[in-house]
Amino acid sequence: MSLTPRERQEIAQANASGRKPVVFVHGLWMLATSWQPWRAFFEENGYATLAPGWPDDPETVAQARANPRVFAGKSVKQVTDHMAEAIGTLSRPPAVIGHSFGGLITQQLAGRGLAAVSVPMDSAPFRGVLPLPLSALRSGLPVLGNPANYRRSVALTYEEFRYSFANAVGESEAKRLYETYPVAGSGIPLFQAATANINPFTEIKVDTKTPRRGPMLLITGAKDHIAPSAIANASYKKQKRNTAPTAIREIPNRGHSLVFDSGWQDVAEAALAFVKEHH
């Protein structure tokens, strides 16, 4: 098994609790610890939670910043398979909530029939989602601007983080978020997303039609630069053809940091309401 001791412990605790489980999936440039406020909120509302990392993720931001090369070489399929392994050891199907590339992975997990209900937020696009807004291209340039970054790990400067993640918050909050959360990220997922629509063998595919998908709520920040509403709406058009309930919600005046900035609880309450209704 590739699961870490922490992940195995969280799974065991969730199974022993008898509560309905919720799995949180983080995106590129983040760690599982970024979900801590969400986990506390959902646990207060009666759920058992776990937040698996991406393969080889350090446990803390300090460890991650001390050894950024550990993030290199991770593809989307590796991460999705790791999350599927964690879900496979749960005693009951979980709700799955993911952000950014974690939102894409959430949709892949739902497409594999592994989610009782799912909430992808500010999700990266998958094959068949055609809009490519300029802000998304600019957000990807720190990685995509150099083909050698495919096999590297790449960290964001403050200016890059400010544009991509923290454009909808004030300067002081943006600086606090930058000091607290981002770590280096694998270059591979961004190159995979950028070529998904021209690569028939891409890992960036989602089974939107399977009857095993379960209810899904897509959440998007109206001011998101990395995954603008055009991407969310195109994803929703694909997903809404599913026989299971499918909804989309745009959060006004919020950017890509909407799950960990000072307004995170508004988003968490929207996700919780949907999970409670369907799980």
pLDDT in tens, 239-278: 999 999 999 999 999 999 999 999 999 999 999 999 999 9
Q: How far is CA 121 from CA 2, 21, 29, 46, in A?
A: 26, 19, 15, 22
Residue 18: per-residue pLDDT: 95
What average pLDDT score do residues 37-63 get?
A: 97
- Inform me whether the pLDDT recorded for 131 exceeds 90: no
Confidence class for position 1, pLDDT limits 50, 70, 90: low
Please report, for the chain, the start and end positions of each structural domain, with discontinuous segments joined by +: 5-278
Query: What distance, in Å, lies between the first and last C-alpha atoms of the chain?
Result: 28
Q: Which amino acid is at 255?
A: G
Q: Which amino acid is at 5?
A: P
Class of domain 5-278: alpha beta
Place of tokens 């894409």: 104
Place of tokens 């609790």: 17
Confidence class for position 108, pLDDT limits 50, 70, 90: very high
Residue 133: per-residue pLDDT: 81
- Inform me whether the pLDDT recorded for 10 exceeds 80: yes
Q: Does the reported pTM lie above 0.85?
A: yes
C-alpha 44/C-alpha 162 separation (Å) is 32
For 158-168, the pLDDT digits (tens) are 999 999 999 99
What average pLDDT score do residues 72-78 get?
A: 96
Average pLDDT, the chain: 96
Residues 6+ apart with CB under 8 A from 196: 125, 126, 127, 202, 204, 205
Do 188 and 144 touch, CB atoms closer than 8 A?
no
What average pLDDT score do residues 109-132 get?
A: 96
